[in-house]
């Protein structure tokens, strides 16, 4: 994925933002940007799963 998309993915992770605080989160993002500065594309292998449940009401 592009560097922009990769960084936007990190920015969307709310629990890290809450735990680190605004200043801490900005430092994390800056460090990530430093690490990936020489890459044009970032390979991110991951698996997403989704589950759907339907309630069965008994009469």
Query: Which pLDDT band, with edges at 50, 70 and 90, does 59 fall under?
Result: low
Domain positions in the chain are: 3-36
Average pLDDT over residues 42-54: 84
Residue 53: predicted pLDDT: 86
Residue 31: predicted pLDDT: 98
Rounded Cα distance between 21 and 40, Å, is: 29
**Which has the closest alpha carbon to 2: 32, 40, 38, 35?**
40
Q: Check: pTM over 0.75? Answer yes or no.
A: no
Is residue 47's pLDDT more than 90?
no
């Amino acid at each position: 994925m592009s560097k922009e998309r990769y960084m936007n993915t990190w920015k969307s992770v709310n629990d890290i933002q809450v735990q680190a605080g605004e200043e801490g989160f900005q430092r994390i993002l800056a460090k990530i940007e430093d690490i990936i500065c020489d890459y044009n594309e970032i390979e991110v292998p991951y698996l997403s799963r989704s589950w759907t449940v339907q309630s069965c009401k008994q009469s």
